[in-house]
A and B are shown apart, each in its own frame.
Chain A
Amino acid sequence: MSHDTLRRPRPVKTTGRPSAARTAGRRRHWTRRPNPLAGIGSVLWLAVVIVPIYAMISSSLTHQDKALGKNALVPPTDPTFDNYNTVLHNGFGHLLLNTVIVAAAVVAIVLVLCIPLSYVAVRSRTFWSGAAFRLFLLGVAIPAQAVVVPLYLMIAKLNLYDSLLAVILPTAAFAMPVSVLILTGTLRDISEEMYEAMALDGASTTRMLFQLVIPMTKGGISTVVIYSSLQAWNGFLFPLIFTQSDGPRVLTLGLFNYVSQFGVNIPALLASVVLSGIPIFAVYLVARRALVGGLMGVGGK
């Protein structure tokens, strides 16, 4: 019996709201009383968030010839999907496919490299594992802008210029520091006893990785999946500098090019912005807790 429990440890939910914490929150005297000032503030911020999004959607449904001079806050009299059609017939599918490929590759690279790394950073007591962890701590603050020129030279020398790989490799590298922070954060919550029990069971460190570490850090891993795919999805600088032709063009760069392509057709431009956000929004609806719960831990206390 004990062996079974050891080999399949129940993942600790770090992302959801445990019911105990919830009840504790309910007991908070100061959260029970209404706070009018905070209430007003939150509604004001809601307006700041909602109004631009509303104006974007409403304008994207407006006929192009009626858009100029019309207040974007007034809903369109006869909504139309023409703008969406225009965007979809201007290579949007191709951009989307490229972006999905980039995101999937980035996620795969980040997971394969970061999970063992974080496992060692937390578990190993050697100088080198500590140094590796510090390297990624420092890495959090490296701005992509600072390295884009030398990377351009490297990409050119590697014959990767104007390919999807030219976008994938640096994007994955720059998603690693935060991913390592998220993973080490969740890994530290696995108790020493668990490892000892598995060691008694004769498990190798590799088996511990697959049967203890990975199942126990599912919350952190899903955060990393979402975080790194978001980085890939929203990345702009690397595609801008490292690609040129239509072939490897991704969504963000496509949006940027729509500015010159559609010119004054702002409704079509906004329709493309809406379309670019829909896939990520869908993921957010499904996996909100994994994302929010994981990112919440980044700051510590």
Chain B
Amino acid sequence: MSSSATARTKGRPGGGVRTGRPHAAWVLPGVLFFTFFAVAPMVLALYLSFTKWNGLGDPQPVGLANWQKLIHDPRLTQSLTVTVLLTVVSWAFQTVLSLLLGVWAAGRQRNRAVLSAIFFVPFLLSSTAISLLFYALLDPNFGIIHGDTLGTTSGAFLAIVFVGGWQFIPFHTLIYQGGARQIPEVLYQAAAIDGAGRYRQFFSITLPQLRNTATTSSVLMIVGSLTYFETVLILTQGGPGTDTAILPYLMYESGFKSYDLGYASAIASFLVVAATALSLVLVKLSGFGNMRSTREGM
């Protein structure tokens, strides 16, 4: 209790700040910084897709040339197919395991806490480190799996799915764990009184209650699978042939190996459209948009 505080109270009679609402201008530095480095480049990507640029000098406008080339590029169809397939298979693989592990880890037993701590470790390594680790482990002359896994189309594809899952399942497990812990205990008590067993409770209470969590996690997974770039670059280099060249890898190759950055921008614009669509889904479907406390009603 200091006298200065009391004095200040008297010295500043009520006004707009009484309720403690800060001025909206405070968001400006953050918004400007983010707009400059993340939003503006998306617009710039669209512009660059109408230019020819080899990385040196200035981009030269070429109209629709890149887009025409893109539409007729057989690699695009293949790349889109692989990207969608990789996204769907990864989503299914990661969601099933994260959901089960997350609900399991939501229990507060000591052994579950210890195992959960270990389960999280892969998420700490970088995609680069993890890809290198599996690159070594899948090496036909060295690794733990014999045979040339990465040399076959299905082997390379499944390796990317597995490595992506190995890295990101810990994170999504955590999200599901958080979601499962927020399910009100009374629901389970009521179900138990009605005679519902463990599995019945899982399907009738846990799953429906985790709907929003699943939405958030799924959107993050789908967006995340667009970023399997490191894994593809290190594990398969898009191979065998171009069988695992996902869209971001195709973009990287066109842009920074063939130095056709205008063409790469056309591919990037594709990614922007996909990302924007996904993020709109995120805002619409998830609880993020609701300005509510997580503790409301508790």
Choose the segment among B72-80, B150-158, B260-268 that binds chain A (4+ C-beta atoms closer than 8 Å).
B260-268
Cα A177 to Cα B34 in complex, Å, equals 9
Q: Is A26 an interface residue (CB 8 A)?
A: yes
Q: Is the CB of B20 within 8 A of A199?
A: yes
Q: Is the CB of A256 within 8 A of B128?
A: yes
Residues 62-112 of B at the A interface (beta carbon under 8 Å): 97, 100-101, 104, 107-109, 112
Q: Is the CB of B20 within 8 A of A45?
A: no
Q: Is the CB of A299 within 8 A of B27?
A: no
- Which one of B107, B124, B127, B255 lies within 8 Å of A149 (CB-CB)? B255
Q: Is the CB of B133 within 8 A of A298?
A: no
Cα A200 to Cα B109 in complex, Å, equals 45
Question: What's the tally of chain A residues with a CB closer than 8 Å to chain B?
Answer: 133
Tell me the minimal C-beta distance from B246 to chain A in angstroms. Answer: 10
Q: Is the CB of A273 within 8 A of B38?
A: no
Q: Which of B30, B261, B294 has the most CB of A within 10 A?
A: B30
Q: Is the CB of A150 within 8 A of B178?
A: no
In the complex, residue of chain B having the shortest beta-carbon distance to the beta carbon of A32: B109
Q: Is the CB of B34 within 8 A of A42?
A: no
Contact with B along A234-263 (1 / 0, CB 8 A): 111100010000000001110110010000
In the complex, residue of chain B having the shortest beta-carbon distance to the beta carbon of A241: B256
Residues 223-267 of B at the A interface (beta carbon under 8 Å): 223, 226-227, 229-230, 234, 248, 251-252, 255-256, 261, 264-265
CB-CB nearest 6 A-B residue pairs: A296-B178, A141-B279, A234-B126, A25-B108, A173-B37, A150-B44
Besides A147-B268, A202-B8, A256-B132, 4 more A-B contacts (Cβ < 8 Å) are A49-B118, A132-B24, A170-B38, A255-B132
Give chain B's interface residues, CB within 8 Å of chain A: 1-2, 5-6, 8-12, 17-24, 26-27, 29-31, 33-42, 44-45, 47-48, 53, 55, 59, 97, 100-101, 104, 107-109, 112, 115, 117-122, 124-129, 132-137, 139, 141-144, 166, 171, 174-179, 181-183, 185, 188-189, 192, 198, 201, 209-210, 212-213, 216-217, 219-220, 223, 226-227, 229-230, 234, 248, 251-252, 255-256, 261, 264-265, 268-269, 271-272, 275-276, 278-280, 282-283, 286-289, 291-295
